[in-house]
């Protein structure tokens, strides 16, 4: 089976049309196929509701065929044409499956995918599938670590930017030698996730210029508009504990102890580490703070640079780069990173903030209670 059936991003749709039909891409004809259109629409619907229902299709990646390939691109166009959030959800859903499937691929194939995504790395595997070996323990029971890939330190820090706050991804937790970071196959696959999402967004951008020739998309957009509104509301409710937080309205008195401690240190002009700044910034943005609000707070940092700080905040907010808005660390992660200072009985700092707001009763409600009790 051709690899582009399993991983449609490996062959662009216009290339496929030239190779398969000897003609230019014709989206109008493609979307006139009702069976494919329904399949693509179902893929979009599944992606939007995946957090609640999971995949309803029984077709695995290993069974994909030409119809699945075409449905992937049609789904990409339907989602992107309907809504930017729908496009993101569709891409996230598809990439998650691709990454999971690629874990079983050989190293040379993964390296070829990484090159297509613009990732600069070196393949260490030749005849030996272990690649580069280091001995972890000596006799009597010798343990060997195997690395199939390596990247320069600057490249690694660029590609692993979102992962650096997670356990096992800092430079100190990896094997580094002579300016290179060495990675085993399972970690290299994870490194492909964000670049692959950005690549798929670009695929949509390239195809979107031809969307005017597909009149049926208006009908499809209307069909999923209500689903988008419903699922977006559900996802945001889950993220914010059933509370919609309005942008710009931030109540510091309701910050959890860990965040209050970070704010206190920052205002005292103490240096915050990368993960501390990331934790604080993601929390603020996810409880409704604006980029300017976060920027003003960061001015207290001893190494503050407005241009760099603004770019980093906008990147975390999803306004730069691949358009991904980053979530706050969980409380478990905050503990692992040494930033938890109290047992609050919540799962995330954002949940603490939302619960505190919910417990705040408006003066009018308090007065109403008094009147009823008198």
Res 129: pLDDT: 80
DSSP 213: G
pLDDT digits (tens, 9 = 90+) for 311-348: 889 888 887 766 677 888 999 999 989 999 999 988 89
For residues 289 and 88, give the distance between their C-alpha atoms in angstroms, rounded to a whole number.
22
Res 15: pLDDT: 92
Question: How many CB atoms neighbour CB 289 within 10 A?
Answer: 22
Res 112: pLDDT: 94
CA angle 356, 270, 170 (to 5 degrees): 85
DSSP 260: H
Determine the length of the chain. 374
Res 12: pLDDT: 93
For residues 168 and 148, give the distance between their C-alpha atoms in angstroms, rounded to a whole number.
17
**Are 304 and 298 in contact, with CB atoms under 8 Å apart?**
yes
**pTM, whole model, 2 decimals?**
0.64
DSSP conformation letters of 322-364: T-PPPPPPPHHHHHHTT---S--S-SSHHHHHHHHHHHPPPHH
DSSP conformation letters of 156-202: HHHHTGGGTTSTT-SGGGSEEETTEEEE-HHHHHHHTHHHHHHHHHH
Res 82: pLDDT: 84
Identify the segments of the chain with pLDDT beneath 70: 1, 50-64, 127-128, 137-142, 232-248, 321-323, 360-374
């Amino acid at each position: 089976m051709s690899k582009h059936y399993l991983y449609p991003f490996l062959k662009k749709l216009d290339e496929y049309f030239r190779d398969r039909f000897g003609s230019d891409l014709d989206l109008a004809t493609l979307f006139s196929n009702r069976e494919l259109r329904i399949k693509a629409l179902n893929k979009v619907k599944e992606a939007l509701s995946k957090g609640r229902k999971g995949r309803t299709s029984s077709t695995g990646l290993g069974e994909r065929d030409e119809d699945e390939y075409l449905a992937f691109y049609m789904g990409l166009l339907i989602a992107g044409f309907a809504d930017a959030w729908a496009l993101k959800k569709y891409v996230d859903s598809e990439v998650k499956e691709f990454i999971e499937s690629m874990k079983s691929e050989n190293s040379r194939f993964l390296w070829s995918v990484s090159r297509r995504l613009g990732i600069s790395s070196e393949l260490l595997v030749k005849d030996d599938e272990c690649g580069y070996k280091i001995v972890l323990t000596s006799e009597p029971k010798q343990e060997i670590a195997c690395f199939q890939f390596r990247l320069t330190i600057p490249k690694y820090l660029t590609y692993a930017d979102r992962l650096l706050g997670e356990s096992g991804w800092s430079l100190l937790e990896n094997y580094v030698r002579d300016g290179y970071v060495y990675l085993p196959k399972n970690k290299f696959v994870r490194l492909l996730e964000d670049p692959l999402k950005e690549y798929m967004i670009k695929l949509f951008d390239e195809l979107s210029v031809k969307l005017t020739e597909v009149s049926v998309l208006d009908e499809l957009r209307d069909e999923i508009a209500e689903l988008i509104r419903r699922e977006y509301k559900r996802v945001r409710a889950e993220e914010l504990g059933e509370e919609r937080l309005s942008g710009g309205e931030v109540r510091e008195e309701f910050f959890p102890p860990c965040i209050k401690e970070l704010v206190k240190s920052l205002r005292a002009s103490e240096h915050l580490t990368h993960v501390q700044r990331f934790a604080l910034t993601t929390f603020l943005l996810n409880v409704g703070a604006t980029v300017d609000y976060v920027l003003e707070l960061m001015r207290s940092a001893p190494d503050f640079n407005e241009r760099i700080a603004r770019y980093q905040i906008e990147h975390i907010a999803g306004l730069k780069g691949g358009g991904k808005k980053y979530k706050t660390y969980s409380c478990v992660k905050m503990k692992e990173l040494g930033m938890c200072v109290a047992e609050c009985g919540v799962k995330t700092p954002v949940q603490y903030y939302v619960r505190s707001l919910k417990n705040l009763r408006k003066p009018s409600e308090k007065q109403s209670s008094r009147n009823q009790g008198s």
